[in-house]
Structure 1
Amino acid sequence: MDALSQIDAWDVPFAAAGVTSATATIATRGDTRHVVRLASVSKPVTALATLVAAEEGVVDLDEPAGPPGSTVRHLLAHASGLPFHGTTPIAPPGRRRIYSNEGFGVLGSHVATRAEMPFADYVREAVCEPLGLALDPSGHPGADMRACLDDVLALGRELLAPVLVAPETHAEMIAVQFPRLDGVLPDFGRFSPMDWGLGVELKGDKHGHWSGTLTSPATFGHFGGSGTFLWVDPNRGIACVALTTREFGDWAKTAWPILSDAVIREVDD
C-alpha cells in the first residue's frame, strides 16, 4: 500500500503504520514490533475490558461509578462531569461531553474493586491473552498502556469483528451514548454534537476530523497525545493505525488526515 510510505517523511523519531481487514493485516510500514506509549489509544482497550466485565457480571454499565449521579456508562462516554484532570465535577452527569482522563482512572479503579484484582491484571486476562497481545496495560487506564503496531492492528481486527464480546455489546460500544451532547475534541475544537460511544469517538458528520475526509460517518476510534491513532471504518471493513514517538501537535493534524485519505483511496480503487 503506497499510502503508508508517507510516514517516511514525517518529522518524528519513530513511526510505524498499518492497515488491516477483519481477518488479516493488509499492509504495514516500519517496525511492527517496536513498542510505544499509546497515550489515549489506551482508552478503547480499557473500554473492551470493561465491556467484558459487564458481560461477566463483574460490573453493570448502569451501576453508580464516579461522581454522584454518574455510572460506568457515563465514565466510558466522557459524560460523568469530571474534568480532564481532577476529581471535582465541573458539570452534572449527562449534561456535557467533557473529555476526561480522570474518568478513565476512576473507571479502572472501579473495575478493579469489583473484580478484586488489579485493573492491569484484568485487562491481561480479559483482552490481551484472548487476542494474543503483548500489550502492556500497566499504568493509567486512559493514558499509559504500551504496545507495538502488530498489537494495535489486532485490536483493530477485534473492533471490526468482535470475539471478546457479543455482537449486541459491540453494537452498543459504537452507538451514540447520551445523544446530542456538545463537547470539545481535544486540540480539534468544539462540536455540536460531540458524539461518543463506549470508549471510542464516533466520527459522524464532523468536519475537519483527524481520520480525514473520506472515512465514512460510521468510522470510530481514538487518537493519543503521544502521536498515535487507531480508526475503524466498518463500512469498508478496515482499520488503520499509526504509532509515533512525537507528541501530538499541528504536524499530526496535518499529516493524519492526508494519510487516512490516501489509504481510503487505495482501498476504494
Structure 2
Amino acid sequence: MEALRQIDTWEVPFAAAGVTRTDSAVAAHGDTERSVRLASLSKPVAALATLVAAEEGVVDLDEAAGPPRATIRHLLAHASGLPFEGESPIAPPGRRRIYSNEGFRVLGEHVAGRAEMPFADYVRAAVVEPLGLRLDPDGHPGAGMHGSLDDVLALGRELLSPRLVAPETHEEMTSVQFPGLDGVLPDFGRFSPLDWGLGVELKGTKEGHWSGTLTSPRTYGHFGGSGTFVWVDPDRGVACAALTTRPFGEWAKEAWPRLSDAVLRELA
C-alpha cells in the first residue's frame, strides 16, 4: 500500500504502520515485530481485559471503584473525576470528561484485587494469550505496556470483530458512556461533547480529528503520547495503526490525519 510509505518521511527514530480488516492484515510498512512503548494505547488493552473480567463475573462495570460514587464504568470512560495524575478528584463522578491516567491505575488495582492476581497477569490470560500476542502488559495499566505493530493490528482486528467478548459487550465498549460530557482531548483541545466509550475515544462529529477527515463518525480508537495510534472504522471494516518512538506533538497532528486519509483513498 503506497500510502503507508508516508512514514518514511516522518522525522522519527522509528516508525511502522499497517492496515487490517477483520480477517487479516491488508498491508504493513516498517518493522512489524519491533516492540515499543505503547503509552496510552495500553488503555484499550486494559479495557478489554476489564470487559472480559466483567463477563467472567470477576467484576461488575457498575460496582463502586475509585472515588466516592464512582464505578468501574466511570474509570473506563474518563468520567470518575480523577485528574490526569494525582489521587484527589477534581470533579464529581459523571460531571466532566477528565482524561485520567490515574483512573486506569486505580482500575488496574481494583481488577487485580477482585481477580486475586496482578493486573498484568490477568491481561495476559484474558487478552494476550487468546489473541496470540507478544505484547508485554507489565507497567502502568494505562500507559506502560509495550508491543509491536503486529500486536496492535491484532488489537485492531479484535476491536473490529470481537472474539474475546460478546457482541453486546463490544457494542457497549464502543458506545457513548455518560453522554453530553465536555472535556479536553490531550494536546488537541476542548470538545463539547468529548464522547468516550469504555477505554476508547469515539470520533463522532469532532472537527480536526487525529484519525483524519475520511473516517466515519462511528470511528473509535486511541493514541499514545509515545507517538502511537490505532483507529477502527466499523463502517468501512478497516483498522489502521502506526507506532513510532517520537513523543506526540505538532508533527503527529499533521502526519496522522494525512496518512489516514491516504489509506482510505487508496482502499476506495
Shorter-chain TM range is over 0.9
1:70 deviates by: 0.2
Is 1:77 the counterpart of 2:80? The answer is no
The answer on 1:53 being equivalent to 2:59 is: no
The amino acid across from 1:150 in the alignment is: D
Equivalent residue for 2:141? 141
Deviation of 1:263 (Å):
0.5
Once the 2 structures are TM-superposed, how far is the Cα of residue 123 of structure 1 from its aligned partner? 0.1
1:77 maps to a residue whose letter is A
> 1 CA distance for matches of 2:122 and 2:262?
37
Match of 2:26 in 1: 26
1:100 is aligned with what amino acid?
S
Unmatched 5+ stretches in structure 1: none
Task: Specify the code of the residue in structure 2 equivalent to 1:3.
Answer: A
Matched ranges for 1:209-228 at <5 A: 209-228=209-228
Identity %: 79
Q: How far, CA to CA, are the matches of 1:213 and 1:33 in structure 2?
A: 29
1:161 aligns with 2:161: yes
After superposition, give the CA deviation of every residue in 1:127-182 in whole Å (9 maximum; x if it has no partner). 00000000000000000100000010000000001000000000000000000000
Q: Which amino acid aligns with 2:104?
A: F
Partner secondary structure for residue 32 of structure 1: coil
SS of 1:266's partner is helix
Structure 2 matches for 1:1-269, cutoff 5 A? 1-268=1-268
**Structure 1 length-normalised TM:** 0.99
Counterpart Cα distance in 1 of 2:267 and 2:90? 43
Residue deviations 1:98-149, cap 9 Å, x none?
0000000000000000000000000000000000000000000000100000
| Aligned-residue CA RMSD (Å) | 0.3
Letter in structure 2 aligned against 1:12 = V
Q: 2 CA distance for matches of 1:46 and 1:217?
A: 24
Q: State the secondary structure of the residue aligned to 2:120.
A: helix
SS in 2 for 1:170: helix
Instruction: Measure, in 2, the Cα distance between the counterparts of 1:94 and 1:144.
Output: 26
Other structure's SS at 2:27 match = strand
For 2:205 and 2:83, locate their aligned partners in 1 and report how far apart those are by CA, in whole Å: 25
Structure 2 CA distance for aligned equivalents of residues 41 and 232 of structure 1: 13
CA positional deviation for 1:267: 1.3
Cα distance in structure 1, aligned partners of 2:75 and 2:23: 31
Deviations 1:225-252 (A, max 9, x none): 0000000000000000000000000000
Write the letter of the residue equivalent to 1:267.
L
- Amino acid corresponding to residue 203 of structure 1 in structure 2: K
Per-residue deviation, residues 204-243 of structure 1 (Å, max 9, x unmatched): 0000000001000000000000000000000000000000
Q: Distance in 2 between matches of 1:263 and 1:189?
A: 25
Distance 1:264 1:108 in 2: 35
Structure 2 residue ranges without an equivalent (≥5): none
SS in 2 for 1:19: strand
1:223 aligns to what SS in structure 2? strand
- 1-structure distance, mates of 2:69, 2:3: 46
AA of the residue aligned to 1:109: E
SS of 2:70 mapped into structure 1: coil
Give the superposition deviation at 1:45.
Answer: 0.1
